[in-house]
Structure 1
Amino acid sequence: MRVLQLITQGRGGPVDHAVEVAIELARQGHDSHLAGPPGPHLAAAAEHAVTVHVAPVDRAGDLRGVGEVRRVLAAVDPDVVHLQDRRAGLVGRVLAGPRSVPTVYTLHGVPDRLAGLVPGNLPLARPRRRDRLRYLGLEGLLARTPRSAVVTPCQALAAYARDHVGIAGHRVHAVPNGVGRHWLGQQTGPAADPGPVRVVWLGLMQPVKRLPDLVAAVDRVPGVRLRLVGDGPERSRVEAAAAGSTHPERFAFAGFDPDPVRALRAADVVALPSAAEAFPMALLQAMALGRPVLATRVGGVPELVRHARDGLLVDAGDVGGLARALTDLATDAVLRRRLGESARLRVRENYAIDRTTRALVDVYEGVAG
């Protein structure tokens, strides 16, 4: 099949996922194309027989960017267009519909104000009328585009799509994210350097990530250090929380890293204390490297992480529970090793990118008729 994927973001989990899918589609013999803003993600895909197209769309009303996507769509003439973020889902379906090009949109997550509608997530803010109109009403309308389907990375988001957006059940397909072959090809085992137990957090610093909770928990547990890999609007607040803690020397801010393999390999534990999640790539990547994870029971996380088998799960917002779980992991190297080995095996058997991509091709073939 000739598959065109569209992204409008420059980084993040959906971008990583789109690149992995594009590369695996090409490896499986499909004519794989990836369009989006210029950056290392396009370059990485191009190195693996993916045809890339520079087509930045800065906002939904970016007429020049929309024109670039229209040009790419006409030039590629794909069998199916796979839209990998919210803006791509809007622009791509508006452009593909009149051309009768089949579309697949991956709903990677929901806006913070609607997060509480996803089973397991904490409510973060009261939804406004315009949020319901924009993200529920408009998405429900777009999902009725002929020859289209919606993919979600977890069952929790599939329930949201059916129950709250109102998308017909036969149009919703839960296809878990997968990790690429290079992740599963990495050497594993505990981090070699002795010393304090190293906890790593990876992602975009937003209020939903509840990073002050993690700072407070680490501050309570002796012999633990936290390295935060990422950036975002909450960074100054998190830095202030670390500076005001009892042990500010325990915290390090690494900033955004386009290749987090080294940071995750250096971790003894990877933590994600979010109030809401879908199916986090950071956890998948950490588990692929054999790292035990500590996360909250939100969204699709319990579908991925089996408590006390692949990692430890706590309730969102429970700083005491987070600290107790950290203590268990920090004081028991055998537990960390057992959880990490189980996590890696779980990803290898269930969440490798070749399995994900074959499931996506089934969806593509279904909408293509």
Structure 2
Amino acid sequence: MRIVCLVTNDLSHDQRMDRICSSLQAAGHAVTLVGRWLPESPPLPEKTYRQHRVRCRYNVGKRFYGEINWRLWRTVRNWDYDVICAVDLDSLLAGTLLHRPGTKLVYDAHEWFSETPEVAPRPLIRGTWRGLGRALVPRTDARYTVGPELAKMLETDYGVAFDTVRNVPRRGQYLNKENTGGVILYQGMLNPGRGLEVAIGAMQFLPDHALWIVGSGPERARLEELAAGMGIVDRVRFVGFQPPEKLPEFTLQAWLGINLLRADSQSYYYSLANKSLDYIQAHLPSIQMDYPEYRALHDRYQCFSLLPELSAPALAAQIRALAENPEAYRQLQTNCRLAAEELCWEREEAKLLAIYAGLTVD
């Protein structure tokens, strides 16, 4: 089948879409990934599938969402394709407009869009996105998301079934772990609700540790000011954006990973973040919030240290407890190693391919 995947982000750092498109292409499909070009976008590396970027005049706000959907539609409308895959709610309008007779429309939900921290506190904006989702999602031919708990919530919200395809690395992506003592790692976007101000605050109580923040986003300047105000800039390193192939260099040097999310975002509460699974595949012990997806994985594999309260003193106390108990730390490493055998893309890939194999194209 000829499959076109639509995203609204820069293609250079979307590991999930790289895995999905690579797997579909390897299975014999002809795949094109269409996303956005930004002024700071790096050149795209060579991939087995086709890549295409569109340029927008606006990059934030209501005008951006209107423009990106128009440009996606305008770019793809004359192409030959069998399947349109709209990634997240912000590209689903374009996907629906491109869903013509004889084609199929697939919805890949990376998050619960109307419940994200940027949207949920704004009633009018949230209502608009919820209304759009409830109108368009039931019109899709197949749907999947990143975790089983989030799938249940999306099924309740939209009234249609969702499959699950976890965003996990391939086996062996992380090798030769250096395990640098004391380095606490966050990798991902620097967006609101990620708990990074808590992580920086915890460093005041952890003089023997350093925090590496690998990623970029709108919160960076505020977080840098926060670290400077606390007088801990020498122990909080802002690495900035790194392409996916460079991330293991930092992950393999860390002693502990963190994934801290605010519970007031339902999208975050029911999330299963990429980084939590990356840490497992790297055999890196990590602190995760005690939310449903992370609790379910921990109950099965005993692979996380779960944090019940998102506060700097609570986080610092949990980190100190691991530092003072090497045996408990080593047990987490062992459990991550065992979990990594099952939580890998080689297993999730089969679920993805089954979803597309079930589409009957006229």
If the TM-score is normalised by the length of the shorter chain, which range does it land in?
0.7 to 0.9
Partner of 1:318: 311
User: For the structure 1 residues 270 and 135, does the alpha-carbon distance in structure 2 shift closer, same or farther, using more than 3 Å as the test?
Assistant: same
Structure 2 runs not aligned, ≥5 long: none
**Distance across 2 between alignment mates of 1:342 and 1:144:** 40
Partner of 1:260: 247
Partner of 2:280: 287
- Considering only aligned residues, what root-mean-square deviation do their CA atoms show, in Å? 2.9
**Distance across 2 between alignment mates of 1:280 and 1:241:** 25
* Residue type of the alignment partner of 1:291: L
**Distance across 2 between alignment mates of 1:42 and 1:157:** 34
**Distance across 1 between alignment mates of 2:324 and 2:4:** 48
Contact 2:307-2:315 within 8 A present in 1 as well: yes
State the secondary structure of the residue aligned to 2:66. coil
State the secondary structure of the residue aligned to 1:204. coil
Partner of 1:360: 352
Bigger shift: 27-36 or 217-226? 27-36
Partner of 2:330: 337
Partner of 1:348: 341
Partner of 1:114: 115
User: For the structure 1 residues 349 and 141, does the alpha-carbon distance in structure 2 shift closer, same or farther, using more than 3 Å as the test?
Assistant: same
**Distance across 2 between alignment mates of 1:61 and 1:24:** 31
**Distance across 2 between alignment mates of 1:17 and 1:318:** 30
**2:174 aligned residue (186, 195, 198):** 186
User: For the structure 1 residues 60 and 251, does the alpha-carbon distance in structure 2 shift closer, same or farther, using more than 3 Å as the test?
Assistant: closer
Partner of 1:33: 32
**2:182 aligned residue (189, 197, 202):** 197
Deviation at 1:130, TM superposition (A): 3.7
User: For the structure 1 residues 307 and 154, does the alpha-carbon distance in structure 2 shift closer, same or farther, using more than 3 Å as the test?
Assistant: same
| Deviation digits for residues 250-299 of structure 1 (CA, Å, limit 9, x no counterpart) | 21111111231111111111111111532211222222111111121236
**1:99 aligned residue (95, 101, 105):** 101
Contact 1:274-1:298 within 8 A present in 2 as well: no
* Residue type of the alignment partner of 1:93: T
* Residue type of the alignment partner of 2:220: R
Contact 2:301-2:339 within 8 A present in 1 as well: no
Partner of 1:227: 212
**Distance across 2 between alignment mates of 1:125 and 1:31:** 37
**Distance across 2 between alignment mates of 1:70 and 1:247:** 52
State the secondary structure of the residue aligned to 1:200. strand
User: For the structure 1 residues 104 and 305, does the alpha-carbon distance in structure 2 shift closer, same or farther, using more than 3 Å as the test?
Assistant: farther
Deviation at 1:219, TM superposition (A): 1.7
Deviation at 1:67, TM superposition (A): 0.7
Contact 1:7-1:84 within 8 A present in 2 as well: yes
Deviation at 1:131, TM superposition (A): 1.1
**Distance across 2 between alignment mates of 1:25 and 1:341:** 33
User: For the structure 1 residues 209 and 156, does the alpha-carbon distance in structure 2 shift closer, same or farther, using more than 3 Å as the test?
Assistant: same
Report the TM-score, using the length of structure 2 for normalisation: 0.83
**Distance across 1 between alignment mates of 2:301 and 2:204:** 23
Contact 1:32-1:50 within 8 A present in 2 as well: yes
* Residue type of the alignment partner of 1:361: L
State the secondary structure of the residue aligned to 1:283. helix
**Distance across 2 between alignment mates of 1:327 and 1:124:** 35
* Residue type of the alignment partner of 1:265: L
Bigger shift: 51-60 or 268-277? 51-60
**1:177 aligned residue (151, 167, 170):** 167
The answer as to 2:126 corresponding to 1:131 is: yes
Contact 1:149-1:172 within 8 A present in 2 as well: yes
Contact 1:286-1:292 within 8 A present in 2 as well: yes
| Deviation digits for residues 203-229 of structure 1 (CA, Å, limit 9, x no counterpart) | 111221121111122221231111111
User: For the structure 1 residues 137 and 236, does the alpha-carbon distance in structure 2 shift closer, same or farther, using more than 3 Å as the test?
Assistant: same
**Distance across 1 between alignment mates of 2:116 and 2:217:** 19
**Distance across 1 between alignment mates of 2:42 and 2:22:** 11
User: For the structure 1 residues 308 and 149, does the alpha-carbon distance in structure 2 shift closer, same or farther, using more than 3 Å as the test?
Assistant: closer
1:5-20 matches, cutoff 5 A: 5-10=5-10, 15-20=14-19
State the secondary structure of the residue aligned to 2:21. helix
Q: How many residues align?
A: 343
| Deviation digits for residues 108-136 of structure 1 (CA, Å, limit 9, x no counterpart) | 1134x7259xxxxxx9964504412x222
User: For the structure 1 residues 21 and 166, does the alpha-carbon distance in structure 2 shift closer, same or farther, using more than 3 Å as the test?
Assistant: closer
User: For the structure 1 residues 114 and 232, does the alpha-carbon distance in structure 2 shift closer, same or farther, using more than 3 Å as the test?
Assistant: same
**Distance across 1 between alignment mates of 2:307 and 2:119:** 18
**Distance across 1 between alignment mates of 2:353 and 2:10:** 25
**Distance across 2 between alignment mates of 1:91 and 1:21:** 20
Contact 1:21-1:353 within 8 A present in 2 as well: no
* Residue type of the alignment partner of 1:189: K
Contact 2:11-2:35 within 8 A present in 1 as well: no
| Deviation digits for residues 294-315 of structure 1 (CA, Å, limit 9, x no counterpart) | 1212363334445992120112
Structure 1 runs not aligned, ≥5 long: 117-122
User: For the structure 1 residues 89 and 180, does the alpha-carbon distance in structure 2 shift closer, same or farther, using more than 3 Å as the test?
Assistant: farther
**Distance across 2 between alignment mates of 1:124 and 1:89:** 17
